[in-house]
């Protein structure tokens, strides 16, 4: 099969020309190499080099790009797995050329993770990670890394699919990107707690067509109960921009804190912090030391994530301005005005016009009218 050489970070590997794959069975689509996911792989290298797990499993290797880079650029033992024999063949060739500490397996993911455990497990499936989370949790020591590309079900555009895969309901509204991320986190938490394991989101974000989440897992009833306490709902008013958060597995009947109107429960979602500030600060400090092609994009992303408030939704101030029929001020002026009024406020990484704040929507509108 014809191939081309690719260089990401300080790692060089080959990938198949995609038109060459037409001669192979449809399952071989998993050998696909997506250049647009280079930032996703860059953050993996940055994160793994920061937390330094004892070993790492790239559970669905495809061409092996992610695992090859972790082995080469982080210097830890790596296992790359793919059940497709064509993909496994490509990975073995790449691993042989790399000379790094790489083991290649061609197992069914569920079988592999039922007999072996890895300190860090990375799931990057074609589509939803939901069918693989249970096995991944059982086979993970400390760190679970998950990519989800099925953003339409997570964010409410395909609501029935979201209910089937994640047993959660989202609204396709202005903050749906955050809802999708937090639905994924709550789903992983629910899968973990049945094994008396708790999760701590360490570094999580949404970008373009995917969600990426990095978790630290802890064992015991105490950590599991702490995770249960972080699962809840955002209650969005049917009549105004007001919303409120409430913990709980079963949604209650909650009135809008702004107008008293009826609300729609969104979730279950993960409530509260989704970043580890210390880990993010270390990642920012380490960024100049690594050779990453997307470093110029990563720095503002990491900085925004570090400073982002832990509220479970945000206001798109342009949407508020349209609803109130007013001209929006510059976003920096709105954030400054909210802080001067005694509230916390920050930018968000989900949208350039998004604002996170603990101020009610009515206060945000008052600040925008000044």
| pLDDT given at position 24 | 45
Query: Which is more confidently placed, 370 or 240?
Result: 240
Which pLDDT score, from 0 to 100, does residue 206 have? 97
Q: Identify the domain boundary among 264, 286, 307.
A: 307
The predicted pLDDT at position 30 comes to 54
pLDDT value at position 222? 98
Give the end of a domain, one of 307, 326, 356. 307
130 and 9 in a single domain? The answer is yes
Whether residue 93 is found in the same domain as residue 163: yes
Cα–Cα dist 268/254, whole Å? 15
Q: Are residues 297 and 333 in the same domain?
A: no
Domain count, the chain: 2
As a whole number, mean pLDDT of residues 110-120 equals 97
DSSP 336: H
* Cα distance between residue 265 and residue 244, in whole Å: 10
Q: Is 142 exposed, middle or buried (0-12, 13-18, 19+ CB in 10 A)?
A: middle
Mean per-residue pLDDT, 65-84: 95
Q: Report the CATH number that the domain containing residue 357 is assigned in CATH.
A: 3.30.56.70
* Number of C-beta neighbours around residue 316 at 10 A: 19
42 plus 105 within the same structural domain: yes
Buried b (16+ CB within 10 A) or exposed e, 115-134: eeebbbbbbbbeebbbebbb
Q: Are residues 325 and 211 in the same domain?
A: no
Considering the domain architecture, whether residues 12 and 138 belong to the same structural domain is answered as yes
Q: What is the mean pLDDT of residues 235-242?
A: 95
> Taking 80 as the threshold, does the pLDDT of residue 2 lie above it?
no
Q: List C-alpha distances in Å: 50 to 103, 123, 206, 286, 300.
A: 22, 19, 20, 8, 18
Domain with residue 16: its CATH number is: 3.40.50.150
pLDDT tier for residue 19 given thresholds of 50, 70 and 90: low
Q: Crossing angle, helix 295-307 and helix 277-286, to 10 degrees? A: 160
Q: Is the pLDDT of residue 343 over 90?
A: yes
The answer on pLDDT for 26 being more than 50 is: no
- Rounded Cα gap, residues 182 and 303, in angstroms: 20
Q: Which residues contact 22 (CB under 8 A, 6 or more apart)?
A: none
Q: Mean pLDDT, to the nearest integer, of 113-137?
A: 96
The pLDDT, as a whole number, for residue 31 is: 62
Residues 345 and 218 in one domain: no
Q: Give pLDDT, residue 140.
A: 98
Residue 18's pLDDT band (cuts 50, 70, 90): low
Same domain, residue pair 323 and 290? no
Which is more confidently placed, 369 or 177? Answer: 177
Q: How many Å separate Cα 213 from the centre of its chain?
A: 3
Query: Is residue 23 predicted with pLDDT exceeding 70?
Result: no
pLDDT value of position 21: 46
Q: What domain range is 327 assigned to?
A: 315-369
308-319 confidence digits (pLDDT tens)? 999 999 999 999
CA dihedral for 83, 87, 90, 94, sign (positive or negative):
negative
Answer yes or no: do 280 and 352 share one domain.
Answer: no
Where residue 4 falls among pLDDT bands split at 50, 70, 90? confident
**Residues 145 and 10 grouped into a single domain:** yes
Helix (H, G, I), strand (E, B) or coil at 192: helix
Q: What is the pLDDT of residues 290-299, one digit of tens each?
A: 999 999 999 9
Distance from C-alpha of 348 to C-alpha of 274, rounded to nearest angstrom: 13
Domain shared by 128 and 192, yes or no: yes
Greater model confidence, 370 or 323: 323
Q: Tell whether the model's pLDDT for residue 25 goes beyond 70.
A: no
Average pLDDT for 151-170 = 96
Kindly state whether residues 275 and 324 are assigned to the same domain: no
Among 263, 278, 307, residue at a domain's last position: 307
- pLDDT over 60 at 29, yes or no: no
Q: Which residues contact 260 (CB under 8 A, 6 or more apart)?
A: none
């Amino acid at each position: 099969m014809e191939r081309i050489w690719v260089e990401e970070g300080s790692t060089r590997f080959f990938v198949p020309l995609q038109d060459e794959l037409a001669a192979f069975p449809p399952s071989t689509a998993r050998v696909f190499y997506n250049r647009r996911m280079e930032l996703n792989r860059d953050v993996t290298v940055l994160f793994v080099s920061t937390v330094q797990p004892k070993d790492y499993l790239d559970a669905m290797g495809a061409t092996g790009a992610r695992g090859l880079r972790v082995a080469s650029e982080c210097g830890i033992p790596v296992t790359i797995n793919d059940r497709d024999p064509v993909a496994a063949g490509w990975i073995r060739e790449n691993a042989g050329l790399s000379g790094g500490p790489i083991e290649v397996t061609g197992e069914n993911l569920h079988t592999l993770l039922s007999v072996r455990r890895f300190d860090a497990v990375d799931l990057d499936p074609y589509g939803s990670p939901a069918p693989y989370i249970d096995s991944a949790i059982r086979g993970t020591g400390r760190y679970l890394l998950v990519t989800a590309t099925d953003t339409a079900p997570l964010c409410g555009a395909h609501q029935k699919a979201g209910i089937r895969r994640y047993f959660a309901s989202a609204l396709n509204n202005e903050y749906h990107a955050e809802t999708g991320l937090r639905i994924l986190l709550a789903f992983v938490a629910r899968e973990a707690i049945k094994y008396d394991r708790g999760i701590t989101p360490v570094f999580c974000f949404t970008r373009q067509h995917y969600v990426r989440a990095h978790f630290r897992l802890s064992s015991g009833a105490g950590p599991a109960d702490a995770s249960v306490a972080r699962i809840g709902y955002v209650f969005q008013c049917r009549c105004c921009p007001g919303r409120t958060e409430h913990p709980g597995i079963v949604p209650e009947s909650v009135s809008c804190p702004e107008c008293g109107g009826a609300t729609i429960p969104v979730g279950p979602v993960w409530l509260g912090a989704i970043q580890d500030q210390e880990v993010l600060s270390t990642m920012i400090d380490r960024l100049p030391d690594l050779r990453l092609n997307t470093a110029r994009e990563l720095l503002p992303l990491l900085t925004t994530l570090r400073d982002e408030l832990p509220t479970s939704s945000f206001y798109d101030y342009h949407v508020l301005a349209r609803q109130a029929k007013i001209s929006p001020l510059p976003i920096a002026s709105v954030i400054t005005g909210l802080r001067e009024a005694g509230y916390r406020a920050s930018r968000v990484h989900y949208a350039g016009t998004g604002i996170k704040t603990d101020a009610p929507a009515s206060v945000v509108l008052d600040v925008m009218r000044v």
